[in-house]
Amino acid sequence: MTAPDEAGVDIWTDGACKGNPGPGGWGAWLRWGDHERELFGGEKVTTNNRMELTAVIEGLRALTRPVPVTLHVDSQYVMQGVTSWMAGWKRNGWLTRDKKPVKNQELWQALDTELARHQVRWVWVKGHAGDPGNEKADELANRGVPR
């Protein structure tokens, strides 16, 4: 996806899981100017947190070049991870404060790689509270759940 030089991209993401662990899906809705793109996928056995992370990663991977991005997420796990925990994990060699391996480390590392490509502003939205972008991302995530 190529976005206009002067405009940023808004990405709403969500994860869904039927059982935790269980079959799960992720969704990302990208909007820039008058354009939009829908992305979704899933895994047969996964967790909600993994799907939330995957949605963000895949949304960013869809961008073909660096652009300003506003990421709208309803996951406290993703928000806390990015804004509070990730810098420390990286300093500690991807270990927690208790010297245990970070859960979902490969996804956090993939997200870190994608974040280095873009200027990202994070916005937390309350899930299932009527935000149109979040509702669309939720619909896409549920579409991605393997049947």
Task: Give tens-digit pLDDT for 49-70.
Answer: 999 999 999 999 999 999 999 9
Task: Give tens-digit pLDDT for 9-26.
Answer: 999 999 999 999 999 999
- The CA-atom distances, in angstroms, between 38 and each of 35, 43, 95 are 11, 18, 34
Is residue 5 pLDDT above 90, yes or no?
no
The answer to whether the beta carbons of residues 25 and 42 sit under 8 Å apart is yes
Please say if 138 is a catalytic residue: yes
Active-site pick, 14, 43, 58, 114 = 14
Q: How confident is the model at residue 2 (pLDDT cuts 50, 70, 90)?
A: very low
d(CA 81, CA 105): 11
Q: Which domains does the chain have, with CATH numbers?
A: 9-144 (3.30.420.10)
Is pTM, for the whole model, over 0.85? yes
Alpha helices in 2-145 (DSSP H): 48-61, 76-80, 86-91, 105-115, 132-144
- The CA-atom distances, in angstroms, between 111 and each of 42, 44, 130 are 17, 22, 27
**Other CB atoms within 10 A of residue 37 CB:** 15
Please say if 131 is a catalytic residue: no
DSSP category for residue 83 = I
Active-site pick, 8, 10, 15, 58 = 15
Residue 128's pLDDT is 85
Is residue 111 pLDDT above 60, yes or no?
yes
